[in-house]
Amino acid sequence: MMGTPRSLKEKLKKNQLTIGSWVTLGHSAVVEIMGRSGFDWLVFDLEHSTIDVSDCHAMFQASDLCNIPAIVRLTSNDEDLIKRVMDAGASGIMVPMVTSKSDAERAVEATYYPPRGVRGVGLARAQGYGARFAEYRTWLEQNGLVILMIENIQAVEVIEDIFSVEGVDGYMIGPYDLSSSMGVPGEFEGEKFRDAIKRIREAGLKIGL
């Protein structure tokens, strides 16, 4: 988390190509192997794996050693869960099933401290157990990441509003859930699904995501 040579947030702002990968096995050795393989980022998937918050501590230690940003895919848009993974050392969060502007606002607010957000202050690993709180606050403002999962047709219908939320750094499309919510599960080549993808991409490009 701390000290990555070049901020992933900066790369996203500049629309630079980045290549990352998913981690679904909760072991630090897996993170270390992948972290030394040249990826720009890793996602620790808590939603569709057996990884728990308690597993993340050692996994973050490994990602820090490799100087690779580690984003946590959450189980839900939950303020307490966001606080726990960020305090443990996450570089950012990936929020599933965002379907409204208020969902996006809630995720951003839970990631940042007041006055920007509502996150409670804990002195855990991310803050150097209290020794580096000021340093962490600065790091968070410059490097913290909020990535939204767009995976429901309800989100597509208000996608411009969702992407307009200040503090959203990027998005990931969940194609299976999105197509399922449209009544065409797994039919990625159909016109209906392709039109939805086009609308998401155009909205993202318009606002710089």
> Which residues form the catalytic set?
48
Three-point CA angle 84, 96, 197, nearest 5°: 150
What are φ and ψ of residue 123, in 5° steps?
A: -110, 80
> How many residues are present in the chain?
209
Question: In which order are the strands placed within the sheet that holds 20-23?
Answer: 20-23, 41-45, 70-73, 92-95, 145-150, 170-173
DSSP state, residue 45: E
Q: Which of 6, 33, 95 is nearest to 86 (CA)?
A: 95
